Amino acid sequence: MAKVLVIGSSGQIGVELIEQLAKIHGSSKIIASDINLNLNRNLQGVTYLKLDVLDKIKLLEVIKKYNISEVYLLAALLSAVAERNIQLAWDLNMKGLFHILDLAKEKYIKKIFWPSSIAVFGPTSPKLITPQTTILEPSTVYGISKMSGERWCEYYFLKYGVDVRSLRYPGIISYKSPPGGGTTDYAIEIFHSAIKKGRYECFIDKDIELPMIYMDDAIRATLELMNYERKKLTVNSSYNISGISFTPKEIASCIKRTYPNFSISYKPDFRNEIALSWPSSIDDSYARKDWNWSHQFNLEKITSQMLEGISNSEA
């Protein structure tokens, strides 16, 4: 029986995606791999493997051994850490993708999910309701790798018929697993800090509005896209996807409704520049039209889920 391989399974998205994939396919069908396995989070029945996506020989071995048909390639360096590790970011974000695309071209894999990001947009892209097709001049290492990756995904689909599907994720908010070095991470740190310390020092300015999505919506979008009929999909690179948009000031005032003494201060660092280069809001009408996408979590609902989830997990 064909199986599903998740590469980068210990990361923020990986941990929650594995849970959902195990529910859909059965845990014995899921192979979870990461270069740094987090053995505390193991799900019963799932096979956990240490795997470096840059090691193509081992990758092929795993794909053959477990009869993998579908791959979720989540291993990547995000925007903030990528700025400090340019070469590693390029190697991991691009070579990892090439390995998987080539294995699909050689017919070892049938279907791929590869996440792109709103980081493909840059200072010259329209800032508001940023369209699916527009100027893409990213100013970050991460954004450059995601933009190039999108072009390669479309190329492999058109030239070789590789079934690769992708979403341009906004900042993803969740509490079950820590985020991995992105610019939108402030919108997660703020909840942990509100509960533990009653205050938060934010690394981007109070009025910078960024697109965000709650993890449950992001996972649902991913699985909906992966299970939709390929011939009905009209975007072969990566779909814009949107949940909500807010500023640090807005999220802080939402937290204050539950924690009236919570305070926020601002000390922008290099991540402020990155945030300024990204859109404030996203037009995801292609996703809505092509596969009926719609988000379910607004800021109030996200805030209550985050505060409750973090409090319960720390109790």
Residues annotated catalytic, as ranges: 142
- Cα within 13 Å of Cα(314), Cβ side: 13
Q: How many other C-beta atoms lie within 10 A of the C-beta of residue 94?
A: 17
User: Smallest distance from the beta carbon of 189 to ligand AKB, in angstroms?
Assistant: 12
Q: β-strands 244-246, 210-214: how paired?
A: antiparallel
- Residue 7 or 138 with smaller CB distance to ligand AKB: 138
Binding site for ligand AKB (CB under 6 A): 78-79, 117-119, 142, 169-171, 182-184
Please say which residue, 30 or 171, places its beta carbon nearer to ligand AKB.
171
Query: By the 8 A CB rule, do 51 and 34 touch?
Result: yes
CB 300 within 8 A of CB 188: no
66 or 203, CB closer to ligand AKB?
203
Q: How far is the CB of 274 from ligand AKB (least distance, A)?
A: 7
Q: Measured from the CB of residue 203, what is the shortest distance to ligand AKB in angstroms?
A: 11
Q: How far is the CB of 168 from ligand AKB (least distance, A)?
A: 8
Task: Judge contact between 27 and 43, C-beta under 8 A.
Answer: yes
- Show the tokens assigned to 206: 């109070």
Residue 163 or 201 having the CB closest to ligand AKB: 201
Taking the complex as a whole, the smallest distance from the CB of residue 117 to ligand AKB amounts, in Å, to: 3
**Shorter beta-carbon distance to ligand AKB: residue 48 or 142:** 142
- Residue 143's nearest CA partner among 279, 32, 306 is 279
Closest-CA residue to 40 (of 72, 75, 10): 10
Three-state SS for 310?
helix
Least distance CB 279 / ligand AKB (angstroms): 10
Cβ nearer to ligand AKB, comparing 76 with 104: 76
Alpha carbon distances (Å) from 44 to 17, 26, 30, 47, 105: 15, 10, 11, 8, 33
Amino acid, single-letter form, for residue 265: S
How far is residue 156 from each of residues 150, 152, 165, measured CA to CA in Å?
10, 6, 11
Neighbours of 16 (CB within 10 A): 18
CB-based closest residue to ligand AKB: 182
Rounded Cα distance between 206 and 63, Å, is: 46
